[in-house]
Amino acid sequence: MVTSGTRRFHLAFSLGCGLLLLGSLSLWAVESSEMLADPVLEARARALSKELRCMVCQNQSIDDSEAPLAHDLRVLVRERLKVGDSDSQVIDFLVARYGEFVLLRPPLAWHTAALWGLPPAAVLIGIIAIVLVIRRRRPPQTGDTANLTPAEEARLSELLRD
């Protein structure tokens, strides 16, 4: 009964101080009974789990979530790994079943081009803008204090004196 109550922790988002960093009470995410005996395989399973979303949760990976669905998915991932699937095969399997929503790292495609393209584009545009501004302003000009009277200018330089 306590467990069912914990699902309500998603309310933490709409409740309270708004910016609580509380997603859910994700204790008992990975349970010891789920873990694989082979440490290499288990490490792969953990790494994969961190990339997969628990679809009934709010922004949680199946590695963090205690929801029953996350448990099922963790077991599923481990089963696929045991049969010998590669990491990408496991991911393909889950995407085929649950759609792209399951991936916390969105794939690079047309509909995510803007998402992945923005950071480099922003830097590029920023650099170009800075270069343009610097080049345009190279010739010396009167500067910003031109519209001030001499008295104002003196007062300003006095105010700004270190």
Rank residues 2 and 83 by Cβ distance to other proteins and give the closer one: 2
Nearest approach, Cβ of residue 82 and other proteins (Å): 19
Nearest approach, Cβ of residue 36 and other proteins (Å): 12
CB burial readout 138-157, b (16+ within 10 A) else e:
eeeeeeeeeeeeeeeeeeee
Nearest approach, Cβ of residue 23 and other proteins (Å): 6
Nearest approach, Cβ of residue 124 and other proteins (Å): 10
Rank residues 84 and 138 by Cβ distance to other proteins and give the closer one: 138
Rank residues 92 and 116 by Cβ distance to other proteins and give the closer one: 116
Rank residues 59 and 89 by Cβ distance to other proteins and give the closer one: 59
The Cα-based distances of 12 to 15, 86, 104 in angstroms read 5, 37, 22
| Residues whose CB is less than 8 angstroms from the CB of residue 71 and which lie 6 or more positions away in sequence, other chains included | 31, 34
The Cα-based distances of 76 to 22, 35, 57 in angstroms read 27, 12, 18
